[in-house]
Amino acid sequence: MANRLSVTGGRVIISKAGYNAEASLPDAFKVFDSAWGISGLIIARGVVNVPTDVVSVTIPFPQQHYVPYAEVYGFYDDNKTYMVPGYCTTNAIICGWTDYNPGNNTVPRIIDGQLRYIVYGISQ
């Protein structure tokens, strides 16, 4: 049975099933290595419903000690997706746009009133 956890010399490595956790193990066979800068943390995710025809939406998330990286997707026509531009603070995404709308490039708005968002545990 593989030894999947290694804590040595200030470094923590967790391997995938079937592989021994050790410093020489290729990254592809690791679940986690503290030598990596990031590990796919998700601070927040979810769906917000907002009134249609708005151009700016604020999505709060738990306060962080840094400004994380975030993405917001808009949905329309039953699961088609587009990305919504915006910016992030330490506790909220402020998203909206000024000149883009699939199928209609002159009237900015949220097409069906639903946004899905992800806040990654990544420092900017």
Q: Which residues bind another protein (CB under 8 A)?
A: 10, 12, 32, 34-43, 45-47, 64-66, 68, 71, 79-83, 85, 99-100, 102, 105, 116, 118, 120-123
Structure tokens at 114: 């639903």
Cβ-based nearer residue to another protein, 2 or 47: 47
Tell me the two tokens of residue 113: 């009133």
Burial class from Cβ neighbours inside 10 Å (0-12, 13-18, 19+) for residue 70 reads buried
- Residue number, 24 or 105, with CB nearest to another protein: 105
Short-list 101, 85, 103, CA closest to 93: 85
Q: Which is nearer to another protein, 58 or 123 (CB)?
A: 123
Q: How far is the CB of 62 from another protein (least distance, A)?
A: 8
